[in-house]
Amino acid sequence: MTKKPEILSQKLGLTFNKPQLFVTALTHRSVGANNNERLEFLGDAILGCVIAQKLYDAFPSADEGTLSRLRASLVNESSLADLARQHCLGDYLLLGSGELKSGGFRRDSILSDALEGIIGALFKDQGIAACEEWIGRLFAEKLHDLSANNWQKDPKTQLQELMQAKKMELPDYALIDMSGLPHEQTFKVRCSVSLIEESCIGTGVSRKKAEQSAAEMMLAKLQQVSK
């Protein structure tokens, strides 16, 4: 039996002028036409913007690429589902019978969409300032951990440390192609890890840049596999 949405609203520290917006944010499309998809679309855009601003202010010397990676590490399906589970969001979702039977209340995609739906509902109800304040509270721990975890580490270092943490062999990088004139060469490097069979091929104007590109692609692939 789904718990009452007002209980969740209190747990999240939110009060809605139009409570039905909050109910809609928790309603999956399997229930019917009046669902959270539009609010999720809105919330996704607002969340990305607010987190981007917080990262911009927190890391004044970070370049665009670093800021993009930091944002991606926070605003992704797995990260949002993790936050949703911390607040037991699945207990309050409104799902159709099929999703209930298949355990939709545990699915990352449904949980993350609902969380973004809540942000969209909050924006429609109270505006951007309320969203900025609540998102700041919601992501406070993740933002703090991010600032404490050597955000300047490059993709190769991150991938190496990931494999070390899992007590597995270090990534393997193989140069598979080098083309172009001596002063404008392009390198292709294959990155392989023992966690998955698929490899990633990165390109760059130097072997080092190609390796970094391949490592970054592998990190993204591993993140997708872990969802």
Within the chain, what is the greatest distance between any pair of CA atoms? 68
Q: How far is CA 110 from the centre of its chain?
A: 14
The catalytic residue among 99, 116, 211, 216 is: 116
Phi first, then psi: give them for residue 34, nearest 5 degrees: -85, 80
Ligand-binding annotation for 113, yes or no, is yes
Rounded (5°) CA angle 95-97-99: 60
Ligand-binding annotation for 133, yes or no, is no
The catalytic residue among 44, 99, 125, 211 is: 44
Strand 200-204 to strand 172-179: parallel, antiparallel, or no bridges (unpaired)? unpaired
- Catalytic status, residue 116: yes
- Catalytic status, residue 141: no
Ligand-binding annotation for 57, yes or no, is no
DSSP assignments along 70-139, one per residue: HHHHHSSHHHHHHHHHHTTGGGG-B--HHHHHTTGGG-HHHHHHHHHHHHHHHHHHH-HHHHHHHHHHHT
**Catalytic residue numbers?**
44, 116
